Amino acid sequence: MIKREKLMFLIALPMILIWLNCASMSSSPPTRSADQYSSAIQKYQQRLKQNHQDTEAYREIGVICYETGKYPLAQKFLTRSYKMDTKDPKTLMYLGLTLEKQNRLKIALQVYRKFNTVSHLSPYRSQMAGRYMLLNRQLIRQEMQQLAAQEATLSGEPPSPKTIAVFPLNYQGDAEKYAYLGKGISEMMITDLAQVKGLTLIERIRMQALIDEMALGQSGMVDESTMPKMGKLLRAGKIIHGNYDIPKKDQIELAAGFWDVVKNEFPPLSSQSDVLNNLFLLEKDMVFSIIDQLGIQLTPEERMKIQRIPTKNIQAFMAYCQGLEMEDRGDFQQAAKFFQQAVELDPNFSQANQKQQEAEVLYAADISADIKYSPTAQPSSPSQPTTKTTTTTTTNLVSNRLNNITTNIGTIFVPGQDSRESAQEASQSGAEILGDLPLPPALPIRR
């Protein structure tokens, strides 16, 4: 069997040389000239003739095949290299990219998820993490598209009463600078409710993807006719929604409540108002009120975690909210700038710092690979935040960001509260492609 596989790969090598000379390159700009590719192929061909267990030779030929658009062949060589060394970061990175090119997205996600087994010194660690996050977003959007398309044929399985979806709060005013506060308030509610044992929160990315798919993105408006449909698609028994307004300077009015999809009950919203600087205290009151309506008794530890206020700087929080909006649009460069602005305004704003790192990794991964992330929602021209800018080339920007982030990349990514990961089928997919690819470790959980 080994001799047969060796023969197959050795026979393939001259064919690659012919393809390089006759076939067109991939749609992406080649990183080497045709002569350089031919010379490299010949070098690694000689190495494989001398040692058919030369892992690096298989890998580098696979990389050449990827760069020249020969993706099925690249997959064969990279898979061969992987089976000989399951921890080589370059092999993992290019195998993931090759699978993406062939639309094997769930299997590619499984490969990228091994990023936290890669050394912190390797630049491939952060690149794999970035592709993992981008691809996960893409799969979530595809899942929401499929759910919306198949809504009429979904089974009658009732939503879970302990699963909660939090919609972005609707803004009732017209001042642009307050337009994104609803995203941040909803994010805070998700974070706070996630501290309660026994509750499952739908992650914000999944929520936003479904809102976009159902053409609710412009207003985010939901009503009694929409709620059962949303609850059915998300399998959420409770949906928290509401609105807010800034009727005059430094004053906020906030109304929120939950709709019980299981019982088909839609109680009225409860409203409160206060000075804008007390927004966080107002949000905490709303969360505790919802928990009381759910009939849940909090432990002292849960109550203490919910009472934690992320920042006392309202301007920092507004920048953070704008960052969330840019992130949802797929504009990770602008998102990183807004999150950076939030950190500059409040260096102790840990969520903003974490989001900044995530956005930088996403942006760096998106521009450093020839496979681009394209969200469903079309980004409009965002307001430019006031941040420090530097003049640098795209190449240097990618290099610098990856080097800065790679030392702590494994600590900043966490799975959403939603237990239904879009990658849940990855461990059962593609056995015929990757053979003995082991189940990747879970992402680290932030405490």
In a domain, 341, yes or no: no
Residue 385: count other Cβ atoms within 10 Å of its Cβ.
Answer: 17
Looking at the predicted structure, is the pLDDT value of residue 222 above 80?
no
pLDDT in tens, 171-209: 998 888 899 999 999 999 999 999 999 899 998 888 888
Looking at the predicted structure, is the pLDDT value of residue 84 above 70?
yes
In a domain, 246, yes or no: yes
In a domain, 347, yes or no: no
CATH number at residue 226: 3.40.50.10070
Cβ–Cβ under 8 Å, residues 86 and 438: yes
The identity of residue 13, as a single letter, is L
In a domain, 117, yes or no: no
Full residue range of the structural domain in which residue 292 is found: 158-307
Query: Which class for 386: exposed (0-12), middle (13-18), buried (19 or more C-beta within 10 A)?
Result: exposed
pLDDT in tens, 95-121: 999 999 999 999 999 999 999 899 989
282-286: average pLDDT: 91
Give pLDDT, residue 232: 76
The DSSP-derived string for 248-302 is STTEEEEEEEEEETTTTB-PPPEEEEEEGGGHHHHHHHHHHHHHHHTTPPPPHHH
Structure tokens, 117: 């087994």
In a domain, 445, yes or no: no
Looking at the predicted structure, is the pLDDT value of residue 300 above 60?
yes
124-129: average pLDDT: 92
Give pLDDT, residue 216: 56
Rg from Cα positions in the chain: 25
Give pLDDT, residue 420: 43
Structure tokens, 6: 């060796």
What torsion do the CA atoms of 103, 107, 108, 111 make, to the nearest 10 degrees? -170
In a domain, 102, yes or no: no
Number of domains in the chain: 1
Give pLDDT, residue 414: 33
In a domain, 414, yes or no: no
In a domain, 419, yes or no: no
